[in-house]
Amino acid sequence: MLSLAGVNTHIGQYHILQGVDFEVPRGSLTMLLGRNGAGKTTCLRTIMGMWRASAGRVLCGASEIQDMKTPEIARLGIAYVPENMGIFAGLTVRENMLLAARGGAPDEKRLAWIFGLFPALEKFWQTAAGNLSGGQKQMLAIARAIVEPRKLLLVDEPTKGLAPAIIGNMIEAFRELKRTDTTILVVEQNFHFAQSLGDAVAVMDSGRIVHRGRMDALAADSALQAKLLGLSLEAHP
């Protein structure tokens, strides 16, 4: 579904991505892991055309997208949930969803499915998004991204700052998303979340991919976790 080959990204004088190569298999949930500052967010923003690759190729299916503008990339069926969630705080939950829906109105059947994933959104449908809790704002950000069927969903740190109970709810929601035909790439710091959901994994360090493989293999290898991420699964229940 998604392939990066030799991708370099410069931001001003800084060379952030340095020959990034990895693939996101169709129908999978792939985790992009790495320490803070490794280049993970830059990678997502480069895929979305928000920062332009200075070299290399980004392919979605058979389409080269590295030179496309962000709206063109979105029209291919790619959605992006940024780390800051990007919701409109002064608008209600309903208004946020209407803005994201094609034609200005969500499909009722799909909306009911989203309410099944995130019941709080139905409860607070007429509430200003800025008054939601952190977890509810994250739910809204993801719901907006999937209000229309997507081929590829990019999500940047969906559990950042969330309480463990909310993370549990998020895991269940992503498990349901995995049952659809949406391919998902998630940047994440919470290793429990990653190992609970990931099919494949790529690990970044200093702007390069230093490991690719199956998520379950990384979860089972504490020595490799410590080498790549400076942590162990046992330390992150």
25-51+70-235 has which CATH code? Answer: 3.40.50.300
pLDDT tens for 196-217 read 999 999 999 999 999 999 999 9
pLDDT tens string 31-76? 999 998 999 999 999 999 999 999 999 999 889 999 999 999 999 9
Q: What percent of the chain stands above pLDDT 90?
A: 84
Cα–Cα distances (Å) from 221 to 39, 62, 137, 147, in that order, read 24, 35, 34, 37
- Write the CB contacts of 51 (distance below 8 Å, at least 6 apart in sequence): 9, 11, 42, 45
First vs last C-alpha separation in the chain: 31
pLDDT at 233 over 60: no
Given a contact cutoff of 8 angstroms between Cβ atoms, the answer to whether 210 and 33 are in contact is no
Strand partners, 31: 186, 201
User: pTM for this one?
Assistant: 0.92
Whether residue 232 has pLDDT greater than 80: no
Q: Where are the domains of the chain?
A: 25-51+70-235
